[in-house]
Amino acid sequence: MRDILYVTKALADGSRLRVLMALGGGELCVCQIVELLQLAPSTVSKHMSILRQARLVESRKDGRWMYYRLAQRDAPKAAREAIAWVRRNLAQSPQMVQDRRKLKVILAMDPEELCKGQCKS
């Protein structure tokens, strides 16, 4: 039951749903997620913590940078099914279409420069 509670809490926020959709295209640096959501790094960090607790995303650290990706096959069944459900139901929503366009621009940017620029803000 705990897995279900964590997953439902994680899915109860639009920003977290946007992150799950964005990660469907592959791993992203936290700076890229900050740029996409236009939220403070501390707010994004809290969202990512909730997604990690629900085991919907996995993270890795590379030097100073933190990267996130969707949970893999070893994630609980509830998490895998929730990700699939979200992706099926939100793929064509106006917000997700807009996010895909914005993410293309973000991915064309140098991630290191993007992160450095956010640290100065």
Could you tell me the CATH number of the domain that includes residue 115? 1.10.10.10
Q: What is the pTM of this model?
A: 0.91
Q: Tell me: pLDDT of 115 over 60.
A: yes
Q: How many structural domains does the chain have?
A: 1
pLDDT value at residue 119 = 65
Domain that holds residue 76: 2-120
Higher pLDDT, 33 or 78: 33
Between strands 65-70 and 28-29, the pairing is antiparallel
pLDDT value at residue 44 = 96
What are 28-53's pLDDT values in tens digits? 999 999 999 999 999 999 999 999 99
- Range 20-32 average pLDDT: 95
